[in-house]
Amino acid sequence: MAQATASSKRSLPRRLHPLPLRIMHWINAVAIFIMIGSGWKIYNDDVLFSFLRFPDSIVIGKWAQYGLQWHFFGMWIFVLNGIAYLTYGIVTGRFWQKLFPISVREVLVTVGEALRFRLRHDDLTHYNAVQKVLYLGVMLVGILIVISGLALWKPVQFSELASLFGSFQSIRLVHFFCMAAIVGFIVVHVSLAVLVPQSLVAMVTGGPALKDEAASNGSIVPEMKTPR
Ligand code: HEM
């Protein structure tokens, strides 16, 4: 009986995007939406650049104070979910397997292909070099935006952290440019997801089942192929 359960468990196909990853990805998308919309409201209250104000129709929060409350609400979701996602990626070996190695040559070739609209999307199980750079980049920016946010929120309690950035105004600038980088990432990321709808479907359904050649230690398989 126990054997039967074990073997039936083993025969369950593993998906390209496991359920926990999908849940965390979509929670992150909602949290980022809240953080950016409310961040724009807070920004409008004391702008960094006189030429830039965000229209009321695209900000979250009627008053700056409500914007702040939304920002903290989104922050807890973003941070807790982000910690869970990073831990999951490291512990399961997913990051290592999906995002490395990256070679400069591969990045240049992929950028060249993208510029000539010749990027191939036939293998969803393999991230191209540009995707790898973008995903790793957005994770690093995500960490920096949280650190700079902490320094803005509690400049006295985190005074040593705050002093790493120089002045309070430079923390604001770092925080702002991290937001701009994330917005840039989202524009490219969502456009690609729409252009390759099967990747979007896979992020909802889990995508193709993977051939599991890994030993029973639960690590990610070294080579994955889309079933024919
Ligand atoms: C509505 C917004 C979003 C959509 C439609 C979307 C869609 C997708 C899709 C389709 C994939 C799979 C890519 C592939 O298989 O080639 C993916 C992966 C990913 N997305 Fe998004 N995404 C959104 C928002 C975000 C945001 C806001 C972030 C972070 C700031 C993000 C970060 C990532 C990362 C890091 C991965 C790789 C996950 C992994 O394999 O570990 N996404 N997304």
User: Could you report the per-residue pLDDT of 58-117, keeping only the tens digit for each?
Assistant: 999 999 999 999 999 999 999 999 999 999 999 999 999 999 999 999 999 999 998 888
22 lies in the same domain as 122: no
pLDDT at 222 over 50: no
103 lies in the same domain as 202: yes
Q: Which position has the higher pLDDT, 214 or 61? A: 61
| Residue partners of 75: CB distance under 8 A and separation at least 6 | 35, 146, 149
| Residue partners of 23: CB distance under 8 A and separation at least 6 | none
CA of 134 to the centre of ligand 1 (A): 10
Pocket flag, ligand 1, residue 34 (CB < 6 Å): no
Indicate whether 137 belongs to any domain.
yes
Task: In whole angstroms, give the CA distance from residue 127 to residue 222.
Answer: 14
107 lies in the same domain as 84: no
CA of 22 to the centre of ligand 1 (A): 9
122 lies in the same domain as 142: yes
Pocket flag, ligand 1, residue 202 (CB < 6 Å): yes
108 lies in the same domain as 184: yes
Indicate whether 168 belongs to any domain.
yes
- Give mean pLDDT, residues 148-156: 96
Question: pLDDT tens digits, residue range 189-212?
Answer: 999 999 899 999 999 999 998 875
What is the reported pLDDT for 226? 34
pLDDT band at 135 (very low <50, low <70, confident <90, very high): very high
Indicate whether 28 belongs to any domain.
yes
Indicate whether 12 belongs to any domain.
no
pLDDT at 18 over 80: yes
126 lies in the same domain as 73: no
25 lies in the same domain as 97: no
What is the reported pLDDT for 212? 59
- Domain range for 124 is 93-207
86 lies in the same domain as 109: no
Question: pLDDT tens digits, residue range 37-58?
Answer: 999 999 999 999 999 999 999 9
Q: Which position has the higher pLDDT, 8 or 166? A: 166
Q: Which position has the higher pLDDT, 228 or 182? A: 182
Indicate whether 169 belongs to any domain.
yes
Indicate whether 228 belongs to any domain.
no
What is the reported pLDDT for 20? 97
Type of residue found at 25 = H
What is the reported pLDDT for 227? 32
Does residue 165 contact residue 151 with C-beta atoms inside 8 Å?
yes
75 lies in the same domain as 157: no
Pocket flag, ligand 1, residue 211 (CB < 6 Å): no
Q: For the whole model, what pTM was predicted? A: 0.88
Indicate whether 179 belongs to any domain.
yes
CA of 2 to the centre of ligand 1 (A): 38
Which residue's alpha carbon is at the smallest distance from atom 35 of ligand 1? Answer: 135
CA of 43 to the centre of ligand 1 (A): 26
CA of 73 to the centre of ligand 1 (A): 22
Q: Which position has the higher pLDDT, 154 or 9? A: 154
Indicate whether 133 belongs to any domain.
yes
Asked which of 63, 92, 121 is the last residue of a domain, the reply is 92
Nearest to 39 by CA among 159, 133, 134, 175: 175
Number of domains present in the structure of the chain: 2
63 lies in the same domain as 138: no
Task: Determine the atom of ligand 1 nearest the C-alpha atom of 94.
Answer: 41
pLDDT at 144 over 50: yes
What is the reported pLDDT for 120? 75
pLDDT at 31 over 80: yes
Which residue's alpha carbon is at the smallest distance from atom 5 of ligand 1? Answer: 190
105 lies in the same domain as 198: yes
Task: In whole angstroms, give the CA distance from residue 85 to residue 82.
Answer: 5
Any idea how long the chain is?
A: 228
Pocket flag, ligand 1, residue 25 (CB < 6 Å): yes
Mean pLDDT of the chain: 88
* Residues above pLDDT 90, as percent of the chain: 76
101 lies in the same domain as 203: yes
